[in-house]
Amino acid sequence: MSEWQHDDGWIAQAVREELEWAPHVDAARITVSVAGGVAHLSGHVRSLAERKAAERIVRHIVGVRGVTADLAIDRPAAQHHSDTEIARRAADVLAWDVQLAGADIRAVVDNGHVTLTGTVDWQYQREEAETRVHRLTGVLDVNNGILVRSAPADDATVRAQVLRALERHAEIDVSHITVAVDGGRVTLTGTVPGFAQRHIAENAAWSARGVIEVIDHVRVEPRKGKTPA
């Protein structure tokens, strides 16, 4: 992946092309604008899953420094379900997910907006629960209030584990990232050339046993000095 800086016009065109390339996104209903490397999406989508997919696609485009989305969800008539039905389906998918075995998670639904609460052992389980629910038809939004349980570990050990995890990734230049740990809360600062590397760094921090929160202050700063092709 190129890490060089591109102008806003090039980024906007790249975003449009990538959205058109994705079969699970209706790019014709989405308008793209870019200012200062920050991409803004507006328009309409058919589901929360489609909106999340569009946002995820944009984050991986070279040169994008931030993403904002104003995408209204226009649910087809067939996707209008009662809150009771959505809550039942959410409970079913969470109970049957092998990655969430033994997790204590509850879903409360209000007019299509789902709030998840409970506790899990790992961050990936928290993310898995949200992903499974936002793919359900009828869901308009998911508020993830699930907490990650704290496991005994001293801050020095957690910091060493996070640094080793970052060093194992070829995409990350660990010399540009600072890791601080206080009571199981990891704070990342520094710079990376793209959103993909920022996501890798955050996931690496969450993978250490004893982490209860990751505060990600890493900035996306594409490298300068090359003219876009």
Q: What is the pLDDT of residues 166-183, one digit of tens each?
A: 999 878 888 999 999 998
**Pair 159, 184 in one domain:** yes
* Final residue in a domain of this structure, among 148, 177, 209: 148
Q: Does the pTM of the predicted model rise above 0.85? A: no
Answer yes or no: is 124 within a domain: yes
Last residue of a domain, one of 74, 100, 130: 74
- Tell me, yes or no, whether 2 lies in a domain: no
Mean pLDDT of 217-228: 72
- Residue 211: domain span: 155-220
Confidence category of residue 93, pLDDT binned at 50, 70, 90 = very high
Mean pLDDT for the chain overall: 89
What pLDDT is stored for residue 225 in this prediction? 53
Q: What is the mean pLDDT of residues 186-211?
A: 89
Whether 143 maps to a domain, the answer reads: yes
> Using 50, 70 and 90 to split pLDDT, how confident is the model at 4?
low
pLDDT per residue as tens digits for the range 112-161: 999 999 999 888 899 999 999 999 999 999 999 999 887 778 899 999 99
Give the pLDDT band of residue 94 (cuts 50, 70, 90). Answer: very high
The answer to whether residue 14 is domain-embedded is: yes
Instruction: Please check whether residues 101 and 119 belong to one and the same domain.
Output: yes
Mean pLDDT of 185-208: 90
Mapping DSSP onto H, E and C, the string for the chain reads CCCECCCHHHHHHHHHHHHHHCCCCCHHHEEEEEECCEEEEEEEECCHHHHHHHHHHHHCCCCCCEEEEEEEECCCHHHCCCHHHHHHHHHHHHHHCHHHCCCEEEEEEECCEEEEEEEECCHHHHHHHHHHHHCCCCCCEEEEEEEECCCCCCHHHHHHHHHHHHHCCCCCCHHHEEEEEECCEEEEEEEECCHHHHHHHHHHHHCCCCCCEEEEEEEECCECCCCCC
| Domains: count for the chain | 3
